[in-house]
Chain A
Amino acid sequence: MKKSGYFIIGIICFLMTAGICVQVKTVTTWDTGPVVQSMTENKLRDNVLKAKEKYENEYKLLEQSMEELENLRNVAAKDNTDAQNMEKQINDANILLGLTEITGKGITIELNDANDSELAGNLNDYLVHDLDLVEVVNELFNAGAEAVSINGQRVVFSTAINCSGNIVKVNDEKIGVPFKIKAIGLPEKLYGALDRPGGYLELMEEDGVQVKMEKSDDITVPKYEGVYKTEYMQIVE
């Protein structure tokens, strides 16, 4: 064989391995779980991924602008005590609205569906439902929790927790088991409120749900990632 033949074979090997690498990378990047057979389904999936990416980019932009705004406010408020007070008010309000990531002491609760081996009777008793989460969150706020999040979704005043088939929607984001609830507040009080005999967690545990609760001195609750929108409410004159 001539030299050019070797060269061409080298190029072809190069093309093939490069193609394989790109393909493997693509498949692992999109990580779609089980193999999909239909091309149309692939297209739909692609659209969803694109929309998600777009949303994430927009959200990043929003975050950047928020940061810029804060910097500008800081600069503007530098030499003005009135403005400084306003700035402080805004910051306090943002903390209350859940628009900042906060940290402090509190407890973490992990709820998971019952193990398969124990199953007998009504299947519904062995699963963690949306209403269970509502009860637990209620108990936490009742015991003086200052900030609560479920699987990274901050519970704010407009948060809705509903059932959506085999998953739960919090803040319109889909989450599934295991549910990790973080609450900031006095750990002993929160723990006692949930751990009390006849309390909701005990009832759930009796049904077979796996419950884990821990006090901690260092809990970080993420900020609310949605956007507040008011359309109909107005201040009374």
Chain B
Amino acid sequence: MIFFVIILGCILGVVVGINLPVISYSYSGYLAIAIIAALDSVFGGITSVLNKNFDIKIFVSGFFGNAILAMLLTYLGEKLNVDIYLAAVIVFVGRMFVNLSIIRRYYIDKWDKKIKSKRQITNK
């Protein structure tokens, strides 16, 4: 069910996104940083589901809050002539890797257990 919802959302997003108008080039930097923040939230959400402490309120507030904060920081950086968005990219992508490694460990553990239990069955 959850995968069905995710895939449906993604397909709808692609269909609508392709038909949306192109944004001005100077805003594409903001959108890029918002996308990275959103991706970070999604991976964080998947990790928390695996850890069984998923909370929809935290997930949604993180999704929008991080994206908006990242955009505001980018704007501030532009005003101060410092590329602050680089810091946001490093933090978000770093967290993405951490979350990915947690997801990876979880599935590899699961797989290992499956193989072991199969072996036990065949040994018996």
| A residues at B contact (CB < 8 Å) | 1, 4-23, 25-27, 29-30, 32, 37-40, 42-43, 45-46, 49
User: Is the Cβ of A15 less than 8 Å from the Cβ of B13?
Assistant: yes
**B38/A16 in contact, CB under 8 A:** yes
How big is chain B's contact interface, by range?
Answer: 35 or more
Having A16-B38, A39-B83, one finds 16 other A-B pairs with CB under 8 Å, namely A9-B6, A10-B8, A12-B42, A14-B13, A15-B13, A18-B20, A19-B17, A20-B17, A20-B35, A21-B18, A23-B35, A25-B20, A26-B23, A26-B28, A37-B83, A42-B25
| 28 A-B interface contacts by CB (under 8 A) | A5-B56, A7-B5, A8-B59, A8-B60, A9-B2, A9-B5, A10-B6, A12-B41, A12-B60, A12-B63, A13-B6, A15-B13, A16-B38, A16-B39, A17-B10, A17-B17, A18-B13, A18-B14, A18-B16, A18-B20, A19-B34, A19-B35, A20-B35, A21-B17, A23-B28, A32-B25, A37-B83, A38-B83
Bound-state CA distance A22–B6 (Å) is 19
The 8 tightest CB contacts between A and B, nearest first, are A21-B17, A17-B13, A13-B9, A18-B17, A10-B9, A18-B13, A14-B9, A46-B26
Indicate whether B1 reaches chain A with its CB closer than 8 angstroms.
yes
Within 8 A of A (CB), among B30-45: 31-32, 34-35, 38-39, 41-42, 45
Q: Please, which residue of chain B has its CB at the minimum distance from the CB of A28?
A: B22
Chain B residues, CB < 8 A from A18: 13-14, 16-17, 20
CB of B78 closer than 8 Å to a CB of A? yes
Interchain CA distance A130-B93 in the complex, whole Å: 49
- Name B's interface SS: helix
Q: Contact at A46–B14, with CB atoms within 8 Å?
A: no
Q: Which residues of A contact B18 (CB under 8 A)?
A: 21, 25
Overall SS of chain A's interface: helix
> How long is the Cα–Cα vector from A36 to B32 in the complex, in angstroms?
13
> Are B6 and A49 in contact, with the CB atoms below 8 A?
no
> B residues within 8 A CB of A4?
56
* Chain A residues with CB below 8 A from B45, complex form: 9
A192 to chain B, nearest CB (A): 50
Residues of A within 8 A of B13 (CB): 13-21
Which of chain A's residues have a CB closer than 8 A to the CB of B59? 8-9, 12
| Given A6-B1, A8-B60, A19-B38: A29 and B12 interface contact (C-beta under 8 Å) | no
Residues on the A chain within 8 Å of B2, using CB: 1, 6, 9
Assembly CA distance A40 to B54 (angstroms): 40
CB of A88, distance to nearest CB on chain B (Å): 46
- Bound-state CA distance A38–B78 (Å) is 9
State whether the Cβ of B117 lies closer than 8 Å to any Cβ in chain A.
Answer: no
